[in-house]
Amino acid sequence: MALNSKVPHGPLKDKWTDYKNQINLVNPANKRHIDVIVVGTGLAGGSAAATLAELGYNVKSFAYQDSPRRAHSIAAQGGINAAKNYQGDGDSTYRLFYDTVKGGDYRSREANVYRLAEVSANIIDQCVAQGVPFARDYGGLLDNRSFGGVLVSRTFYAKGQTGQQLLLGAYSAMNRQIARGKIEMFNRHEMLDVVVVDGKARGIIARNLVTGEIERHSAHAVVIASGGYGNVYFLSTNAMGSNVTAGWKVHKKGAYFANPCYTQIHPTCIPRSGDYQSKLTLMSESLRNDGRIWVPKNLEDVKAIREGKLKPTDLTEEQRDYYLERRYPAFGNLVPRDVASRAAKERCDAGFGVNATGEAVYLDFAASFERYGSEQAKIQNISNPSPEKIKQLGQEIVRAKYGNLFQMYEKIVDENPYETPMMIYPAVHYTMGGVWVDYNLMTTIPGCYAIGEANFSDHGANRLGASALMQGLADGYFVLPYTIGDYLSDDIRTGKISTETPEFDAAEKEVTERINFLINNKGTHSVDHYHKKLGKIMWDKCGMSRNKEGLEEAIEEISALREDFWKNVLVPGTANEYNEQLAKAGRVADFLELGELFAKDALVREESAGGHFREEYQTEDGEAKRMKEFQFVSAWEYKGEPKNAVLHKEDLAYENIEVKERSYK
């Protein structure tokens, strides 16, 4: 099947408006005869479910958590971008579009990104109307902060809990529709397959996670809003339950999976402390504005620090290697996320990691304490301040800026970051790749849509800070509700979709057999045993930097691990009860397939772009080297074993933006 992105013709800035004016609508009286399934209740799924229900469709919403409010969008800290230009600093739809395409290293689809920038302003209006308590200034107007390497202040925020507040906004909109009976909510339910009838997505098979019951749910369209697949690495900043299952199941039924190798690894996370670690915690990248990153120059000092014989504060300036400042004198500690992450890995691989696991570098605020402290001493007219006084004054400024992050760090690590440098290490936290969708957000299965992090379309090879929330809500509130109507306008005479059909029988049988197999296998190793092994292969060979040899090994190792999993996995309990191990086994089984496709995608993409860094393709100074001939989206078609997947290319044309080299000099 040839890929058709269905991008409308016409000038970029008119595409969306003209398109909306031309697509088919569904009469309000007919909407009540049409059912839509939405899988996932994060920003994308929650906002889509609420809006579709407001329009009059009958929505069935599914979440594996005990309430829609717990989806992992809730953990986003920093903010949400919108081209409001409230600060009068020259922001515009075009600038947000430009920044997003450039930040994505020219690997995203122009028309989709422009539409995202276009609807961004409406998101803020909508959320304020819902009662989202964004930060305000003393005049009562909305406040903005600047974020991640752009030249304007366009980020709206609610303390360090922007994701939480936006999700609670979408959840409240859902609650209103649940109360009206327009959304039927299925909490503690997990989608285990999509049902395709006559080539169209017509329902799902779901498991009730409390009773273990397998259920059939039919609809005229199915929307996948299940988030990203960062947990393929085992350790990530994703929630424990975040998984690829919904996306992977539709992939296996005909939806192409795009750019699986584009992963964002965030440089400022709290390092792993031991093998028991279950997840990683991110700290806002704004810390790099005031912290200097270093490791000791000498390996003897590293050893002494690890053994507790030496403290980092004992080392003189000459004994420290501020490696980012050394390698990137122009940008220093403020190089982009991917560069900062790779540089930390390089030092740690060379043996300079400063904690017991050897995977940590210092983020030191001492220089900031002194700089801010001296400034404050002048402002407050303190003559001849003592070094202690300067430090104290400086710490007060830093506390006002980052106090909550310092406190979070201290709770987890049990060290006071005001007295000793923080330790940080990069961690997986977002996946730009996902299910391939066209301009309508429809996958290659007619009637099956993918929105939010679950799709691939807007961030290219690298996502900018504060853009994930924007995309989730744009897709759910403002894009899908229009585009899905165009498709559903053909379904006004279809009537209720029956679940008593051979297609539902077959899908349910497949799901049941797989569950029974897992339960009856009675092997020797727990699910986590396999998940951790997979995570290690992914991190070592498909992580911050990749090479041909490693990727080829990864494909073989993951394939072998998958075989071992199906032979030897041990799932306790039964199928007909609350059984978290069983749910997890299904998710890990899917990760074991996705991981292989991921490695294959990374192997085939013989260039470096954004979050995908191939060691063979770098400039002399170790920068990512993009290749003109790879200016396309890799969309993979399922053909049995992941390594046999067939590649389809969607060429990317940039008509409104000049493709340039990213440079940090």
> What is the sign of the dihedral through the CA atoms of 600, 604, 605 and 607?
positive
- Crossing angle of the two packed helices 580-604 and 245-252, in degrees rounded to 10: 60
* Tokens 């070592």 -> residue: 540
**C-alpha–C-alpha distance, residues 483 and 17, integer Å:** 12
- DSSP annotation of 597: H
Region from 101-109, 190-198, 411-419, 429-437 binding other proteins, contact rule CB under 8 A: 411-419
Coil, strand, or helix at residue 475?
helix
Which three-class secondary structure string do you get for 95-144? HHHHHHHHHCCCCCCHHHHHHHHHHHHHHHHHHHHHCCCCCECCCCCECC
Number of residues that bind other proteins (CB under 8 A): 79
User: Hey, which residues between 456 and 495 contact other proteins (CB under 8 A)?
Assistant: 477-478, 481
- Cβ atoms of 463 and 104 within 8 Å: the answer is yes
Region from 69-77, 223-231, 416-424, 605-613 binding other proteins, contact rule CB under 8 A: 69-77
Our answer to whether residue 371 is catalytic in this structure is no
- Closer of 294 and 477 to other proteins (Cβ): 477
- Closer of 175 and 568 to other proteins (Cβ): 175
> Which of 33, 145, 279, 389 contacts other proteins by CB under 8 A?
279
Within 8 A by CB and 6+ apart from 468, the residues are 76, 430, 453, 459
Retrieve residue 390's tokens: 């300067």
- Closer of 206 and 335 to other proteins (Cβ): 206
**Does 119 engage in binding with other proteins (CB under 8 A)?**
yes
* Tokens 């165009």 -> residue: 486
CB of 412 to other proteins, least distance (A): 7
**Does 25 engage in binding with other proteins (CB under 8 A)?**
no
- Closer of 67 and 386 to other proteins (Cβ): 67
Residue span 511-550 as binding mask against other proteins, x where in contact by CB under 8 A, dash where not = ---------------x-x----------------------
CB of 362 to other proteins, least distance (A): 18
**Does 273 engage in binding with other proteins (CB under 8 A)?**
yes
**Does 208 engage in binding with other proteins (CB under 8 A)?**
no
Task: Tell me which H or E stretch contains 191.
Answer: strand 189-197
- Closer of 133 and 403 to other proteins (Cβ): 133
**Does 403 engage in binding with other proteins (CB under 8 A)?**
no
DSSP string, 291-326: -EEEEESSHHHHHHHHTTSS-GGGS-GGGEE-HHHH
> Which of 6, 32, 136, 326 contacts other proteins by CB under 8 A?
136
CB of 231 to other proteins, least distance (A): 12
Within 8 A by CB and 6+ apart from 517, the residues are 566
List the Cα angle 354/360/366 in 5-degree steps: 75
Region from 102-110, 273-281, 297-305, 379-387 binding other proteins, contact rule CB under 8 A: 273-281
Region from 104-112, 275-283, 485-493, 540-548 binding other proteins, contact rule CB under 8 A: 275-283
What is the residue type of 392? Answer: Q
**Does 154 engage in binding with other proteins (CB under 8 A)?**
no
- Cβ atoms of 205 and 508 within 8 Å: the answer is yes
Which of 337, 342, 347, 614 is an active site residue? Answer: 337
**Does 166 engage in binding with other proteins (CB under 8 A)?**
no
**C-alpha–C-alpha distance, residues 174 and 169, integer Å:** 9
> Which of 11, 274, 308, 502 contacts other proteins by CB under 8 A?
274
Region from 67-75, 556-564, 632-640, 656-664 binding other proteins, contact rule CB under 8 A: 67-75
* Tokens 């296996």 -> residue: 252
- DSSP annotation of 9: P
User: Hey, which residues between 592 and 611 contact other proteins (CB under 8 A)?
Assistant: none
> Which of 8, 18, 23, 54 contacts other proteins by CB under 8 A?
54
Region from 43-51, 247-255, 284-292, 373-381 binding other proteins, contact rule CB under 8 A: 43-51
**Does 65 engage in binding with other proteins (CB under 8 A)?**
yes
> Which of 89, 300, 580, 641 contacts other proteins by CB under 8 A?
580
Burial classification of residue 513, based on how many CB atoms lie within 10 Å of its CB (0-12 exposed, 13-18 middle, 19 or more buried): exposed
Dihedral in degrees, nearest 10, Cα atoms 212, 213, 219, 225: 0
> Which of 51, 112, 462, 499 contacts other proteins by CB under 8 A?
51
> Which of 164, 489, 512, 656 contacts other proteins by CB under 8 A?
164
CB of 22 to other proteins, least distance (A): 16
**C-alpha–C-alpha distance, residues 156 and 141, integer Å:** 11
User: Hey, which residues between 180 and 199 contact other proteins (CB under 8 A)?
Assistant: 185, 187
> Which of 1, 2, 29, 129 contacts other proteins by CB under 8 A?
129
User: Hey, which residues between 72 and 91 contact other proteins (CB under 8 A)?
Assistant: 72, 74-75, 84, 86
> Which of 8, 23, 145, 175 contacts other proteins by CB under 8 A?
175
Residue span 226-265 as binding mask against other proteins, x where in contact by CB under 8 A, dash where not = -----------x-xxx------------------------
- Cβ atoms of 466 and 4 within 8 Å: the answer is no
> What is the sign of the dihedral through the CA atoms of 567, 571, 573 and 577?
negative
> Which of 33, 145, 176, 643 contacts other proteins by CB under 8 A?
176
CB of 20 to other proteins, least distance (A): 9
**C-alpha–C-alpha distance, residues 610 and 600, integer Å:** 18
Within 8 A by CB and 6+ apart from 572, the residues are 579, 581
Phi, psi of 386 (to 5 degrees): -75, 155
> Which of 96, 150, 173, 469 contacts other proteins by CB under 8 A?
173
**C-alpha–C-alpha distance, residues 483 and 631, integer Å:** 27
CB of 392 to other proteins, least distance (A): 24
Within 8 A by CB and 6+ apart from 629, the residues are none
DSSP string, 146-172: --TT-SS--EE-STT-HHHHHHHHHHH
CB of 561 to other proteins, least distance (A): 18
CB of 224 to other proteins, least distance (A): 19
- Closer of 422 and 645 to other proteins (Cβ): 422
**Does 210 engage in binding with other proteins (CB under 8 A)?**
yes
Residue span 301-340 as binding mask against other proteins, x where in contact by CB under 8 A, dash where not = ----------------------------------------
Q: Which residues are designated catalytic?
A: 337
